[in-house]
Amino acid sequence: MTTVLVLVGVWTVSGLLTTYLMARAGHRHPNWLLIGLVLGPLGLPILYERAERRARLVAERESSATGEPTGLTVVFGLDGSGESEAAFEAAFRVLGERVRGAHLVEIVDFDSGADAGFVTSVEARLASCAQRCPTASVSTHVVSGQPAPALLAFAEEHGADVIVVGRRGRGMSTWLLGSVSGALMRSSTVPVLVGGYQSERASVDDADAGERRDEDVNA
């Protein structure tokens, strides 16, 4: 009986490990968990060998640039979360007219990138953000891959001056796989601007504190 329990435990742990490694490689569909648990240790070399490792452009839309070709090229890493939306809006308040071109990029896992319906919904979300960009040159891109490496590779390829991301992404992936913003700050050769709700709250608190100091001085 003990031997059976040990074998079941090893089989289950191997399946979970396989699922985790596939998620780290950019494959996050729930089916990988089922496949990993069924195949157990047999699935580890098979599935990892089949995993895609290079980021792949899935869809993009570009607008032609107008005006003088001066200013900053900014890559915005968006994921539909409130944090990334807050970072997107805060960046334009901080950088303003210095933004020459904006690349709105959403990194999806390889499995979702093969789903045409899902990609269409991501494109629609990015198009909505693009309409709010106060800059003449804006493009949207859907890229499949591992979030931090894929976003950094995109930024370097397009000569970005700044990468803008939210403090935290959405869902459980941040807890399981780590923070994209943290990974970028550790490895990026491009300056990274991190925004989010906490930053927004801090800005409001600082402004309120400044107003109170002014009132005290005037009194």
DSSP string, 64-115: ---S-S-SEEEEEE--S-HHHHHHHHHHHHHHGGGEEEEEEEEEE-HHHHT-
Domain ranges within the chain, ordered by starting residue: 2-50, 56-201
Q: Which of 5-19, 74-88, 92-106 has the lowest mean pLDDT?
A: 5-19
pLDDT of res. 214: 43
pLDDT number for residue 8: 73
| pLDDT tens string 153-186 | 999 999 999 999 988 655 544 444 457 888 888 8
Beta bridge partners of 23: none
Tell me the Cα Rg of the chain. Answer: 21
pLDDT at position 197 is: 62
Domain 56-201 fold = Rossmann fold (3.40.50)
Which residue's entry shows tokens 């309409």? 131
Query: 214, 206, 187, 180: which is closest to 87 by C-alpha?
Result: 180
86 pLDDT exceeds 80? yes
Answer for the pair 49, 170: CB distance below 8 angstroms, yes or no: no
CA distance 191 to 29: 32
Residue 31: CB atoms within 10 Å = 10
Q: What is the pLDDT of residue 82?
A: 84
Give the single-character DSSP code of 41. G
SS3 call for 154? helix
Residues 6+ apart with CB under 8 A from 99: 71, 72, 74, 91, 92, 134, 135
Q: What is the mean pLDDT of the chain?
A: 75
Task: Identify the pLDDT of residue 202.
Answer: 39
